[in-house]
A = this chain, B = another copy of it.
Amino acid sequence: MGKRVSIVGATGYTGGELLRYLVRHPEVTVARVTSETFSGAPIHDIHKFLKGRLGLVCEKLNVNALAADSDLVFVCLPHGAAARTVASLLKKNTRVIDLSADFRLKDAAVYKRWYGAHPLTPLLKESVFGLPERYRDEIRNAPLVANPGCYATATILAGLPLMAGKLLARGPIIVDAKSGVSGAGKKVESRYLFCEANESIQAYALRGHRHQPEIEQEWSNAAGRDLTGSHPLTLVPHLTPMTRGILATLYAPLAKKISVEDLRDRFVQYYAREPFVTVLGAFESPETKAVSHTNHCQIGVALDSSGRQAIVISALDNLVKGASGQAIQNMNLMLGFDETKGLL
């Protein structure tokens, strides 16, 4: 008998993408989907690809009902709003994958600086950061997994092999990231209109983007020491005219000369056993199209002409490996399925 899962806040893009994978997953059934705005509406009226494929109707949030019927619940609520629902579900002994930012940061002070006061700081310790490439074993048994942000996933994966080694010189790390418009979620705002976003690129969040502390936290964890002083991160996200995809281009100063082949080998070895990370050839750039609608992250490694800057480029689908696909990967780990089930 399969497992039963539910989605809180199922009508946004991450909810839709979860359903895309869940309806074809051989081991799980979707029990309930909730939406405050669209309660009473068939979920296929919002996600039209579900027509003829899933008959569920959106319900208002009811923690008791969810807990009774679900082995695991995906929470797709805005940050701040997610925390209390997550806590209520955990109290009912229901496992949760939270796609908001509420449980990603371990330090309540850092959370406060970027998001305001955290509503439930004690829970921060219990959650596991949902990046299987780092925390596979912890995820298996976690009651609460905090699914990482899309920019964070792309950037952390691009940098991990650098941080783990002793490759970098002191100095700034620049990450110039380009995202498709779905990264903003289904916000009905003027700047996300087709006629505004099409045929246009712009930078945004120039005063700082909220995924930055996730990256700093995880790179520092991998290095075993706080890197924010010696390797300050400058992260500039850009809005680009495509629906899906993130390309993150990372520039980092090298401590000493290294050949591009040696640099690439570090990445190949680091990710040798990972089912969803592929390292391309030296000087080969990934393309977001190649990972679109997949849970894969492709990484390219290069050196600038002086040999003093490493250039690492990662590409993933922000809605899949950057959000819902990674959540399915985490679900597979938590429920004891093969990690790649339903994702290949």
What is the interface of chain A, defined by CB distance below 8 A to chain B?
13, 23-24, 48-49, 51-53, 171-172, 174, 176, 178, 180-182, 186, 188-190, 192-204, 206-208, 232, 234, 236, 238, 240-245, 247, 249, 251, 253, 278, 280, 283-294, 296, 298, 300, 302, 304-306, 308-309, 311, 313, 315, 344
Q: Give A182's nearest chain B residue, CB to CB.
A: B195
Known: A232-B308, A240-B241, A308-B232. A200 touches B52 (CB 8 A): no
CB-based contact A192/B194 at 8 Å = yes
Q: Which of B245, B280, B292 makes the CB contact (< 8 A) with A51?
A: B280
Cα(A178)–Cα(B202), bound, Å: 10
State how many copies of this chain the complex holds. Answer: 4
Contacts of A199 in B (CB 8 A): 180, 199, 242-245, 288-289, 292
CB distance from A166 to the nearest CB of B (A): 20
Return 13 A-B CB contacts under 8 Å, by A number: A52-B278, A172-B251, A172-B253, A181-B194, A193-B194, A194-B243, A200-B288, A201-B240, A201-B315, A204-B285, A206-B302, A241-B242, A251-B251
Cα(A171)–Cα(B311), bound, Å: 16
Q: Give A286's nearest chain B residue, CB to CB.
A: B202
Cα(A112)–Cα(B58), bound, Å: 39
CB distance from A160 to the nearest CB of B (A): 17
Minimum-distance CB pairs A-B, first 3: A200-B289, A48-B290, A52-B278
CB-based contact A208/B305 at 8 Å = yes
Q: Which of A192, A289, A302 gathers the greatest number of chain B CB atoms within 10 Å? A: A289
